[in-house]
Structures are given as structure tokens and as C-alpha cells.
Structure 1
Amino acid sequence: MRTLFLLVLGVGLAVPAFPQGAPDKGGPAAAGLSSPPGPGAAPLQAEPFAFADFTWLNGTSRQTDSLLDTKYFTGEFRADLNFVYDFNHPQDHTLTGSSELGRTNEVHVQQLAVGGDFHWNHVRGRLLTQFGLYATMTPRNDASTAKGQWNTGDAYRYVSEAYGGYHWDALHGVNLDAGIFMSYIGLFSYYNFDNWAYQPSYVSSNTPWFFNGLRLQVFPSDRLKLELWLTNGWQSYNMFNNTPGVGASLTWRPTADLAIISNNYILGADTLGNRKRTRRHTDNSIQWKYYDRPSAPLDKMALSFTFDFGDEQGGGASRSGAPDAPKQYFAGWMLYQRFWFAHDRHAITLGGGAISNPGRYLVLMPPINGATATSGTPYFTQNPGDPYHAWDGSVTYDYLPNPFITFRGEFNRRGASVPYFAGSGGVTPPGGNQGAPGSTVPGWAPDLRKTESRLTLAMLVKF
């Protein structure tokens, strides 16, 4: 444990924003204390990250107060509704290659979440449901559900976060939680209300949204958070084999205008049925607010930069490549620039990025004939060394009339080195899916293209 802690500290101080989802704070509110300490008691330490306003961060809610707050429970409600116009016009209305969107040319409830945070006498807990398309899209990207009995993909499908824990008043706070929590890989939040853009680039969209296991949060100061994770695996409800995933995170906010994160998946064995193949991943971000003039028409500007690198080794794959073990790695980056106008009532975000992922082990499986991460499909293989390079760019406009709603319009252009995006013929056989998920259908093939352009209109609500 000591070696792991030192590794996280060393890596994190060298590189970088806040974890996906709502902030986890280690001060009195997180502990569930109902009142300040009495006379003669030790003074409370400064609450982490409360020394400045960080609502400008990508991946963090812009709200400063909750309307549903009581002494024991802080409630939360989220609604994410969208309409996507795909210029490829897939006849089956299916969007491929996205964790955030699944259907085109229709109005859909992408996510509806109800829940909140329980807090009392140092005991803490969080529950947030997930209904809408997220309830099926998120579990289908977890291949671990094929191992063993009891269908965890169904058991957890309506839950995005569910954990209990305990808080200690040590340093500036120490929390131990067990359950399903956000993954912290990829800067963007799982919840689109918190983000600068609706469709994140591949670095975020193709990396985990959740972990299932244990996490230990330590706040040495009100500007620094360290985390250790022991999880079932890489975005998985179960273990893929017999080895847990080990990871760690560092979040450092030295000033009100700078946020740095380093998230590191130190070791996992996350290829179903291949115990010899291991995985590592590092995800690092920096966010900088370099302009802030509240009275000016253009009142704020900030940027974020994220870079990732990972690999898989053993079991027929290697980082550098060999005749019997082709290259298997993930390298990617994404850059976003945000402008706020008219007292933060309007905002424009420009961004995009690129990835290279030989072996395609993190590329989202297109749902061809009902294919899932478990089934795979011969129409889009994921063999060691299979090439995959992709890029994307986006322009996002937000109208923010108050802190509880966002009206969003976004244009995306994506490209890949191999046919990947749904074309006009779609990815569903005539009459619907046939045979086993992902299997071949005689006389039929999916219509896959190398490019895709689309327009997304969304209404996002949070209380």
C-alpha cells in the first residue's frame, strides 16, 4: 500500500481536473455532521476545494447550492433529453461509437436520474438511479457479465451510483466507500449537464464511466485529494478473470484558476477468458481559466487538455509489437476551449481530439445485429493488432438562463481509419436482429462509413 501511495503521489504531481460526476468533499458536510463542534473541541479543518468557485470546470456542476437539502439528505434530480440529426441518415436510427447517444432522428430520454446523498454522524451514502437509454447502453459495454451466474447487467442497469461509506475527521478528511462510483477516467462527467460539450472526444467516450469496488479518499489539504481504488475491473460489474483492478487518482487545485488531475489504472486483467493479458492506463488533464471579467460582454475563458496512454501485454499482445504478439496500446488526446458571455448566460465550446488504439480493445463495439462487448462481431473484429485511428471535432452552444437548466446545440464531425460509423443502410438486418447477438446474417452486411456528421439538440435539467 505504501508503494502504491508513493507511485500515485509521484505521477500525480508531475501531471494532472476533477473526477467525473459530482465532487466528493471531505469536510463537515461530507461527514454528515449536523452542527459545528462544541466549546473546547478541535476546530474543523478547511473543507476541500471550498476556498474558491470551481463551477467553471468541465465535468463539474455549475450549481453552488442544492434546492433539496436537509440535515440528513441532499436530493438530486437529473433529466437529459435529446434529438440527434445524423447526416448519414441510418435507416434503423442507430448511432454507433458513442457512450452518450444511441438513437438518431428521434426525441429520446437519454437519462433520467433520481437520488442523492445521505449523511449523518460520519456515515455517508449515495444513490443515483439511471433510466432512459443509459440503462441499456452502459451495461452492454461491460463484457464481464458473461462470467458466472446471476445477470449483473440487469441487476445494476438502473443504477449509476450506489455506495455507502464512512468519513474520518483526519487531515482535511478521509473517506472510505464501497459500491458503484464514477470511474474518474476521462475528465468529462457521466452526466452531460456538468460538461462543456455533449459528445466528448474518444479519450473520454471510450474509457470507463464507472468502477465497482472500494475507494479510499484522502485530503492532505484543502487543495489536494488522493485516491486509491480496488475494483472488480475496467468498467465492469464483475471480474473478467480472477484479478482485481488497482488504480489511483490525484486531484490538485493550487489556485482558483487551475485544476490538475492524474488518474492511473495501475494493473488489471480485463480481457474476458484471457488471464495472461494485463492492462495499464494513465489519464491526465489540466484545466486553466485564464480570463475572468464578470462585467465584460465576454466574461470568461478557459481551456482543458487531456492526454491518455495505456497498453495491454501478454496473452498474445504486446506494447511494442512482435510476430506472435502484435501491438496493443491506447494513445489519445483532447483539447477544449470554452467562452462564456453575458454573465454566464451563454457559452460556446470548441474542441476535439484523436486516438490510436491498435487491437481496438477500448473501441466501443458497434451494435451490429445486436452485438455487445461480450458477443463481439465478425463485422468489426477486435483481434490483437487490428488498426484503429480516429479523430473528431465539435462546436457547442449553450443557453444557460438559470443554474438548473441548459439548452444545448452541438455539431460533431467524426472520422476513423476503418469503416465504423452507421451509414444509410444502418447496422440492423431487415426485420430486426437475427440469430445470436453479433452473428453473421447470410446475404446481409452492415453499412459502415469512415465519417459521420451530426447535429444534437438537448435540454438538460438538474435540481
Structure 2
Amino acid sequence: MKTIFTTLALVAGILTTSLAQTTDTTRVPAPRQAATVATPNSGLTVSGYIEAYYSYDFTAPKTAQERPVFLYNHKRNREVNVNLAFIKGAYVGERVRANLALQVGTYAQYNYAAEQDLIKNIYEANAGVKLSSKKDLWLDAGIFSSHIGFESAISKDCWTLTRSILAENSPYYLSGAKLTYTTSNGKLTLLGSVLNGWQRVTKLPGYSGPSISTQVQFRPSSKLTLNWSTFLGSDRPDSLKQGRFFNNFYAIINPTGKFGVILGFDIGSDRKPIISGDRRVGSGSYVWYSPVVIARLATSAKSYLAGRIEYYDDKNGVIVATSTPNGFQTWGYSLNYDYAILPNALFRIEGKVYNSKDAIFETTSGFGRSNTSLTTSLAISF
């Protein structure tokens, strides 16, 4: 894999002098709209991205090398590291398209921990064919960035430096096959997919699957995006009979204006597990949910100020297990400043505070109910 990555890097250095580049968005960070696939000029394009970061956890002991367990991006504590670096080749023809991106960084280290070693360096690998000569209808198969949620692993495309709790604990990537249809005016996108599981390339042992996911995205104007995504399947072995139904809702209001707002809400449920024969741990399901509000203000042509308030309630520990009486019930508050040093170079700094109902954060004297951190990053894209 190291040889492959090195080879692609050398090829990229040659090709980028002669091939068209993908549109850069570093200067104006914007949330990802995963179902919307931009169609560049036909041919091959090569692009790349790297984000270096430093996080300082004021709450954790000085020897703690990782941020809290429910975080997967910008994970390393008190050390300079790379969150995500990838090089991507994309081919688009009249009715075919393909993407291959190889990655390194702590994002891959923690988010792909359950995958086979060969898979851990694959950020994206998929191929697609346009099923209609007149309609924008595509069938794609492979490994994709997730269409669930308004945040991605590419920090420069998000309004905040670090990810929200709901983004960290829902799929960043998916594998399977999907149908995507976009109306001729570009205002409505519909997506349906058959997947290997909840953020899995390799199926969970004991789960026969498949899982199903959908997306409905409506953009009545450039100032408003409305989205509803779902997941139906499981992230448990078949023997437990724990079906999962998950919904993701968000609205992006005035994303390119001087002031914009994102409203997001996730809610999911897992059926209670089997413990003996057909007997369950009581009837019904375990439910978790998370609302988030992000507001962003353009302070100049090159800078933004963004604030976030969020809450995550998983008292039964379905997604975030704490082994405490009240489970994971946590508020989050953050404030970040972005400055575009160059059109493709973005510097960011963010302060963040978590407050939880139970003492779940490691401290110098045991465990506490709050956590405070400061993170900086420098992202370069080409």
C-alpha cells in the first residue's frame, strides 16, 4: 500500500500540471451535500487534500494521548498530527464515472479500525454508469463518502473545525450500490442504496444483511437546502435480532451569505436484544437522538466566525457506551475562527466545551462531568 500511495503521488505531481483540477472550496467552507454529484468536464482529474492539526485537552491528564472515546476526528491529544490526507483520481465520461482516493491520517486510523488492513487506506473507490441518456440517473457501486449528515471528514468543507457529536457517531463512509436521480433543474435529489452495513466495508460477522439507506434532498434556491436521510438495517449479529432505524434531518440556510445557519437532528432506534430464545430485555427499542445548531458569520472576505450548540442523548449506550447510571447525555459548545491564508490554504482555531450528566471524562483526579479543549488546523487542497 505504501508503494501504491507513493506512485499515485508522483503521478499526481505530473498530471496536475496538465489536467483540470476540481473546484476548490477552501476559501469558502461549506457543508457537504453528499447526494449532489458535480459533473466536471469529461476526462481524468487529480486532486488532493491534507489537514494537519494540534489538539490540547485541558481536562485530561498530561499522559492522555487521545481525546474522548466518542470522537474519531482530531483524536490525538497534545501532538501535531495529520487528521486526513488523500490523493484522488476521478474519471468522468459521457455516461460513466469512477473515483479512487487513497488516504492516511488519524481519521483513517480510528474510523476504519474495524476494517481489514487493505481497506483502511481507501477513502473512496467506486464506479458508476448513467442509466439514461436523457435523465440524470446514475447507478454507482463501491465505497463512498456517506450521504448521511451535513458534515464530512474533509474539515475545510464543514462550518466548524471539529465534527459534531452526531456526525462522529453516524457513518462517514458506506459501501454497496446506490441509485441517484437529480431533476433537470437540480432542485431535487433522490437516492436509494443497498449497503453492507452501518459504516462497514466488510460485513459484521454474524450479520446477513443487507442494509438499506435513502436520501431526499430539496434545494428550492441557493439559500436553502432541506435534507432527510435514513438507514434501515442493523449493526448487530442476526442472533440478537436488533433491527436499527435511523433518521437524519438538516436544513442549511443561506450557506454562501454573510450569515448562515445549520439546523440538524438525528434520531435512531435499536430493538432491544434477545437474551434467551425469543425473550427480549423488555419490549420496545432503545432510542438515541441529537439536535445541533451551527451559526456562521463572514467577518471579512477571507474569514469566518462560527458557533455551535449541540446535545446528544444515548442513555442506553447504543452508540456511546459509558457504563454509568445515566449513560451518555452530553451538551457541547464550540466557537471557531477561520482564515483563508490563500484560496486553497485554510487556518482554523476552535475552542470546545462538553458537559455531561455523568462523570465520563478522564481528569487528573479521576473522572469529571466536563471537558475543555482547543484545536488548531491547517488545511491545504489542490
Taking structure 2 as the reference length, the TM-score comes to 0.83
Aligned to 1:432: none
Equivalent residue in structure 1 for 2:55, among 84, 94, 104: 84
Equivalent residue in structure 2 for 1:279, among 244, 248, 251: 244
- Percent sequence identity is 21
- The 1:60–1:251 alpha-carbon spacing in structure 2 relative to 1, beyond 3 Å, is closer
Q: Give 1:401 deviation, angstroms.
A: 3.1
Q: Give 1:356 deviation, angstroms.
A: 1.0
**1:125-140 equivalence runs, <5 A:** 125-140=98-113
**C-alpha distance in 2, partners of 1:390/1:274?**
31
**C-alpha distance in 2, partners of 1:281/1:271?**
14
The answer on whether the counterparts of 1:203 and 1:355 sit within 8 Å (CA) in structure 2 is: yes
Aligned to 2:23: none
**1:54-133 equivalence runs, <5 A:** 57-59=30-32, 71-90=42-61, 91-96=63-68, 97-133=70-106
- The 1:56–1:139 alpha-carbon spacing in structure 2 relative to 1, beyond 3 Å, is closer
Aligned to 2:18: none
The answer on whether the counterparts of 2:312 and 2:331 sit within 8 Å (CA) in structure 1 is: yes
Post-superposition Cα deviations, 1:393-423, rounded to whole Å, max 9, x if no partner, equal 1001000133311100000001222333332
Q: Looking at secondary structure, tell me which structure has more strand per residue.
A: 2
Aligned to 1:50: none
- The 1:326–1:115 alpha-carbon spacing in structure 2 relative to 1, beyond 3 Å, is same
- The 1:224–1:172 alpha-carbon spacing in structure 2 relative to 1, beyond 3 Å, is farther
Q: Give 1:275 deviation, angstroms.
A: 4.2
**C-alpha distance in 1, partners of 2:250/2:156?**
20
The alignment status of 1:461 with 2:380, answered yes or no, reads yes
Q: What secondary structure does 1:189 align onto?
A: coil
Kindly tell me the number of residue pairs found equivalent between the two proteins. 344
Q: What secondary structure does 1:153 align onto?
A: coil
Aligned to 2:259: 301
Post-superposition Cα deviations, 1:80-99, rounded to whole Å, max 9, x if no partner, equal 10011110243132212212
The alignment status of 1:396 with 2:336, answered yes or no, reads yes
- The 1:171–1:390 alpha-carbon spacing in structure 2 relative to 1, beyond 3 Å, is farther
Aligned to 1:296: none
Q: Give 1:213 deviation, angstroms.
A: 0.6
Mark the runs of 5 or more structure 1 residues left unpaired by the alignment.
1-54, 143-151, 293-299, 366-379, 426-446
Q: Give 1:387 deviation, angstroms.
A: 2.6
Q: Give 1:73 deviation, angstroms.
A: 1.1
The answer on whether the counterparts of 2:84 and 2:106 sit within 8 Å (CA) in structure 1 is: yes
Rg (Cα) greater in structure:
1
The answer on whether the counterparts of 2:145 and 2:173 sit within 8 Å (CA) in structure 1 is: yes
Mean CA deviation greater in 247-256 or 308-317: 308-317
Taking structure 1 as the reference length, the TM-score comes to 0.69
Aligned to 2:162: 199
**1:359-398 equivalence runs, <5 A:** 359-363=316-320, 380-381=322-323, 387-398=327-338
**1:42-61 equivalence runs, <5 A:** 57-59=30-32
**C-alpha distance in 2, partners of 1:153/1:417?**
36
Mean CA deviation greater in 213-222 or 170-179: 170-179
The alignment status of 1:449 with 2:337, answered yes or no, reads no
Aligned to 2:294: 336
**How much is the aligned-residue C-alpha RMSD, in angstroms?**
2.7
Q: What secondary structure does 2:46 align onto?
A: strand
Aligned-partner residue type, residue 333 of structure 1: P
Aligned to 1:235: 199
The answer on whether the counterparts of 1:356 and 1:389 sit within 8 Å (CA) in structure 2 is: yes
Aligned-partner residue type, residue 213 of structure 2: G
The answer on whether the counterparts of 1:171 and 1:220 sit within 8 Å (CA) in structure 2 is: no
Mark the runs of 5 or more structure 2 residues left unpaired by the alignment.
1-27
Aligned-partner residue type, residue 77 of structure 1: G
Q: Give 1:362 deviation, angstroms.
A: 1.6
The answer on whether the counterparts of 2:266 and 2:290 sit within 8 Å (CA) in structure 1 is: yes
The answer on whether the counterparts of 1:59 and 1:196 sit within 8 Å (CA) in structure 2 is: no
